[in-house]
A and B are shown apart, each in its own frame.
Chain A
Amino acid sequence: QSALTQPRSVSGSPGQSVTISCTGTPSDIGTYDYVSWYQQHPGKAPKVMIYDVTRRPSGVPDRFSASKSGNTASLTISGLQTEDEADYYCCSYVGDYNWVFGGGTKLTVL
């Protein structure tokens, strides 16, 4: 199972919005509505920001939103803040009790 495809980096200024894409295949994102997104600050463990494609865990700001269309999922962060600077990873369930992650996107807040 190949990794999901994410841009290596994105950037934005405080207050702006950025969108991170995550491209899979008809066998993973295209089939399952079980896409999750994780934020990882340097030296820290990943933290779930989105699950079930669009749902936010309690405590995650509503500036974080996500969607899916076909084989591509997207994470949008609006009203960028400096603390949003981190690596972001998408993840999809791929069936047969297996998961695959994206390669990660480094978000820089300019």
Chain B
Amino acid sequence: QVQLQGSGPGPVPVKPSQTLSLTCTVSGDSVTSGAYFWHWIRQTAEKGLEWVGRISTSGTINYNPSLKSRVTISVDISRDQFSLSLNSVTAADTAVYYCAKGPRFYYPSSGYPFYFDDWAQGTLVSVSS
């Protein structure tokens, strides 16, 4: 049973124009598992849920086109973690950020790899001066 735990800057707001950084720790399996994609999804009161991006340790990385110029997702294999970095933040980036996983391949038992099957508890990030 894979478990995900997100962590972030804590209660201190991120200042506008700075960089937001979040980490997700994987347990119960390895982040190098070829069976999964590792995703970031955020939730705001205004826009609801928004997919941010995904990574696999095979080297595949995809970003939401609306955020692509500001987002970087990476993997730290030694720590079984994957991370999100979002630069030039504004108040609109204030959100609960979720890390999640999804299948990477089609299997009859789990279907096509276009959904998110496990989510961590969210991490609230506030952007404020």
The reply to whether B119 and A47 contact each other, CB–CB distance below 8 Å, is: yes
Asked if A48 meets B51 with Cβ closer than 8 Å, knowing A98-B62, A98-B64, the reply is no
Interface size class of B (residues with CB under 8 A): 20 to 34
A64 within 8 A of B: no
| Contact flags A1-17 to B (C-beta < 8 A → 1, else 0) | 10100000000000000
Alpha-carbon distance A53/B118, docked complex (angstroms): 18
Report the interface size class on chain A: 20 to 34
Q: Note all chain B residues with C-beta closer than 8 A to A103.
A: 48
A37-51 interface with B by 8 A CB criterion = 38, 44-48, 51
Q: Are A36 and B49 in contact (CB under 8 A)?
A: no
Task: State the total of A-B contacts with C-beta under 8 angstroms.
Answer: 64
Which of B47, B50, B114, B121 has the most A CB atoms < 10 Å from its CB?
A: B114
Stretch binding the partner chain, chosen from A19-27, A68-76, A77-85, A89-97: A89-97
Contact B51 A99 (CB under 8 A): yes
Is there an interface contact between A46 and B48, defined as CB atoms closer than 8 Å?
no
In the assembled complex, the CB of A29 is this many whole angstroms from the nearest CB of chain B, namely 12
- List of B residues within 8 angstroms of A91 by Cβ: 49, 51, 115-116
B112, A34: Cβ atoms closer than 8 Å: yes
Instruction: Check B48 against A102 for contact (C-beta < 8 Å).
Output: yes
CB nearest neighbor in A for B116: A48
Which residue among A32, A98, A99 has the maximum number of chain B CB atoms within 10 Å of its CB? A99
- Tell me the B100-117 residues at the A interface (CB within 8 Å): 111-112, 114-117
Q: In whole angstroms, how far apart are the Cα atoms of A102 and B35 in the complex?
A: 27
Query: B36-68 interface mask toward A, CB cutoff 8 Å, 1 = contact, 0 = none?
Result: 000000000001111100100000001011100
**When A36-B116, A47-B119 are in contact, do A97 and B62 touch as well, CB less than 8 Å?**
yes
19 contacts between A and B (CB under 8 A): A32-B114, A34-B114, A36-B116, A44-B121, A45-B98, A45-B122, A46-B116, A47-B119, A48-B115, A48-B117, A51-B112, A51-B114, A91-B51, A91-B116, A93-B114, A98-B51, A101-B48, A101-B51, A102-B48
